[in-house]
Copies of this chain bind each other. A is one copy, B any other.
Amino acid sequence: MSKLYFEDFTVGDVAEYGEKLVTAEEIKEFAAEFDPQPMHLDEEAAKKTLVGGLCASGWHSCCMMMKIVADGYLLNSSSMGAPGVEEIRWLAPIRPGDRLRVRTTILEKREPNSRPDFGFVRTRFEVLNTTGACVMFSITSLMFGRRTPRAAQ
Interface set of A (CB-CB < 8 Å, partner B): 33-37, 39, 49-51, 57-59, 62-64, 66-67, 70, 74-75, 79-90, 136, 143
Contacts and interface: CB of A to CB of B under 8 A. Distances in A.
Contacts of A51: 81
A84 B87 CA distance: 8
Nearest to A69: B35
Contact of A90 (B59, B83, B86): B83
Interface of A is mostly: mixed
A35 B80 contact: no
How many copies, total? 2
A151 to B, nearest CB: 22
21 contacts: A34-B64, A34-B66, A35-B67, A35-B70, A36-B70, A37-B74, A37-B81, A51-B81, A58-B84, A59-B59, A59-B62, A62-B62, A63-B63, A82-B90, A83-B90, A84-B87, A84-B88, A84-B90, A85-B87, A85-B88, A86-B87
Contacts of A67: 33-36
B58 A35 contact: no
A19 to B, nearest CB: 16
Contacts of A89: 83-84
